[in-house]
Amino acid sequence: MKELSGAEWHVLESLWANSPKVGSQIAADMEERRGWSRSTTLTMLRRMTEKNLISCDNSGKMKSYMPLVGREEAVKKETESFLNRVYHGSVSMLLNGFVQKQKLTPQEIEELRQILDHAEEK
């Protein structure tokens, strides 16, 4: 799977929330969330179908769409891409940069410890 554009993320978020959806439902959702015109949404659906990011079922009166990419898979790919692009693959640089800019609550610090403990056990 290639990296997703911001526009592709928006369409997939709509489909991950509820699918299958017909084109008019997605167009209404994108108009409400992003201010897109119907033609912009239909163009995105066509392109995303061609890229095998979503499927299109023509068997009914209206075309319906479903995601072919799972949210977890997309998040993992996007996280890896961001980590490599911005932090040269270094998780410690990412965490250090984040912790220096954000005030973490004791609960968040404990959650991070648990994540690291779990990783160490693997």
| Residue that the structure tokens 């319906």 belong to | 64
So what's the pLDDT on residue 96?
Answer: 87
**Residue 44 near residue 7, CB atoms below 8 Å:** yes
Query: pLDDT tier at 100 (50, 70, 90 boundaries)?
Result: confident
Question: Using alpha carbons only, how large is the chain's radius of gyration in Å?
Answer: 19
Q: What domains can you pick out in the chain, each with its CATH number?
A: 1-89 (1.10.10.10), 90-122 (no CATH)
pTM for this model (two decimals): 0.79
pLDDT digits 0-9 by tens, 25-62 = 999 999 999 999 999 999 999 999 999 999 999 988 89
So what's the pLDDT on residue 76?
Answer: 93
Question: Residue 1: pLDDT above 80?
Answer: no
So what's the pLDDT on residue 66?
Answer: 98
Q: DSSP assignment, residue 78?
A: H
